[in-house]
Amino acid sequence: MSLPLPEDFSPSLSVIRERAKVVFNKTPCLWQLKIAEAFLKHDRDIVCIAGTGMGKTLSFWLPLLLRPTGIQIVITPLNQLGRQNVESLRNAGIQSIAINAETATRENFRAIENLEYRAIIVSPEQLMKPGGGFEKLLRSPDFVSHIVGFIFDEAHCIASWGEFRPEYRELHRLHYILAHRVPYMITSATLTPDTLTEIKKGLHVRTSNLVTVHTSTDRPNIYLCIRKINHTLSTYADLGFLIPEDHKDGVPSPVPPKFLIFFDDIQDSINAAKFLRNRLPPHARDKIKWFNSDMTTEFKETEVKALIAGDTWGFCTTESFGMGMDIPDICLVIQWRASCSLSTIWQRWGRAARNRDKQGMAILFAEKEYFDDV
């Protein structure tokens, strides 16, 4: 029988690797082990730029295997990501909780204070809520002594979402609230040098002794394609290839590949979904759904499960479904219109073929004015 590890134990990379094999049934890459090592040394901050689906999330949890009472706090932009992480950690025997508007209860914060959860996934709104549950916890030297680190997942959102989610701009206050300094990890697949500089300055990241991991963001199992929008935008007719009209009297055979179509406008996503649904017989129209921030939490959870199970073929969605969602068998991702940044497109395309044994396709449908032959 193995003895519990002391909190000041400084493990070798091989020890971390072997623990990961036992708990997660995965063999970490060297860069994932280096991140875990940096967290465990507890005296440096970390920047990790790695491609979508490459395993950044595993590096969050590895330090917990070597810190018996350690806690990781992950700041994530989407509630759905928090719930997905909780489910995967439960399978590994690590107690975790996602704190959002529904779960930010007195009972849950008491459980967090009592160290009942080892991974806490939280939105910036809940973390930085004035007078909220975290403000008291983060001022407690005893509680903070158990924190292995703060992980700013999808960190590009700190720079790009601050205008409509002001709590992102309030994250700089963590530096002053914390009872004492703990490691920060900034991670994303799409951090430009200017964005990274802005974030490091805003969060007061320690640049001395900074650990930087930068792997390729290429996804060689995703084929990229650019198509011109040939029909009137409001008709969405260019998307009709997904549901050929000759199948209107019956379910397509084979059915379309599991897909996501991203839009930058909620009404566009609804109208496009209606266009595709109308090409199907009535009994099959619920196979295609629209998915956006106006939906209830219950709806989102139910529909994500239906997509995973294959009961739903695809979503016409906005940013509400995207970053970090780990559904391994999405075959096709479409961006409708060249209306967002290249970084955003790359994030969205990265939802395809998360299982690297599979192949996916990513398509940008762009307006005619972006092509030279107009």
φ, ψ of residue 290 in degrees (nearest 5): -100, 150
Residue with the larger pLDDT of the pair 175 and 273: 273
Question: Please, which pLDDT band fits residue 181 given cuts at 50, 70 and 90?
Answer: confident
Distance CA 98, CA 171 (A): 18
One-letter amino acid for residue 273 of the chain: A
From 159, 185, 214, the end of a domain falls on 214
Helix or strand holding residue 260 (H, E):
strand 259-262
Question: What is the pLDDT at residue 368?
Answer: 93
Contact call for residues 71 and 115 (beta carbons, < 8 A): yes
> Do 248 and 342 share a domain, yes or no?
yes
Please check whether residues 197 and 241 belong to one and the same domain. Answer: no
**252 and 153 share a domain?**
no
- Average pLDDT on 42-63 reads 91
Beta bridge partner(s), residue 223: 361
| Residue 1 pLDDT level (bands cut at 50, 70, 90) | very low
- Specify the DSSP class assigned to residue 124: H
pLDDT-derived band at 248, boundaries 50, 70, 90: low
Q: Does the residue 3 lie in any domain?
A: no
Give me the long-range contacts of 340-346 (CB less than 8 A, separation at least 24).
Answer: 340/264, 341/160, 343/156, 343/190, 343/192, 344/190, 344/319, 346/52, 346/189, 346/190, 346/217
CB atoms within 10 A of CB 197: 12
Q: For 310-326, what is the mean pLDDT? A: 83
The pLDDT score that the predictor gives to residue 8 is: 53
CA distances from 24 to 88, 100, 182, 353 (A): 10, 26, 25, 21
Please indicate, yes or no, if residue 332 is contained in any of the structural domains. yes
Q: What is the pLDDT of residue 3?
A: 40
Region of residue 185 (left: phi > 0; alpha: psi -120 to 50; beta: else): beta
Pair (243, 269) in one structural domain: yes
Q: Which residues contact 229 (CB under 8 A, 6 or more apart)?
A: 238, 337, 365, 366, 367, 368
Are residues 140 and 286 part of one domain? no
Position 240 scores a pLDDT of 95
Does residue 342 lie within any of the structural domains?
A: yes
Span 22-31, average pLDDT: 94
| Residue pLDDT, tens place only, 89-128 | 888 889 999 998 889 999 999 999 999 999 999 989 899 9
Final residue in a domain of this structure, among 198, 214, 230: 214
Classify residue 184: in a domain, yes or no. Answer: yes
Nearest to 74 by CA among 132, 135, 122, 127: 122
pLDDT of residue 4: 45
pLDDT band per the 50, 70, 90 thresholds, residue 319: confident
Say what the pLDDT of residue 322 is.
Answer: 62
Same domain, 208 and 229: no
Same domain, 236 and 163: no
CATH number of the domain enclosing 38 = 3.40.50.300
Are 231 and 357 contained in the same domain?
yes
Within this chain, do residues 145 and 186 fall inside the same structural domain, yes or no? yes
Same domain membership, residue 241 and residue 119: no
Whether 2 maps to a domain, the answer reads no
Residues 276/242, Cβ–Cβ less than 8 Å: yes
Instruction: Judge whether residue 207 has pLDDT over 70.
Output: yes
Tokens of 344: 């955003």
Whether residue 266 is contained in a domain is answered as yes
pLDDT at 5: 47
Instruction: Please identify, among 185, 214, 243, the residue that sits at the C-terminal boundary of a domain.
Output: 214
Q: Is residue 308 one of the residues assigned to a domain?
A: yes
Helices 30-41 and 13-24 meet at what angle, rounded to 10? 110
* Whether 246 and 275 share a structural domain: yes
Q: What total number of domains does the chain contain?
A: 2
% helix / strand / coil in the chain, to the nearest 5? 40, 15, 45
Residues 153 and 292 in one domain: no
Could you give the strand order of the β-sheet that contains 119-122, starting from the edge strand earlier in sequence? 96-99, 119-122, 71-75, 147-152, 184-188, 46-49, 211-214
Cα atoms found within 13 Å of the Cα of residue 324, Cβ hemisphere only:
24
Structure-block tokens of residue 247: 């199948």
Residue bearing tokens 């909220």: 132
Q: Residue 305: inside a domain, yes or no?
A: yes
* Structural domain containing residue 324: 222-370
Counting every residue written for the chain, the total comes to 374
pLDDT in tens, 118-157: 999 998 989 999 889 998 999 999 999 999 999 999 898 8
Q: What is the pLDDT of residue 187?
A: 94
Beta-carbon count within 10 A of 89 CB: 23
Q: What is the pLDDT of residue 100?
A: 86
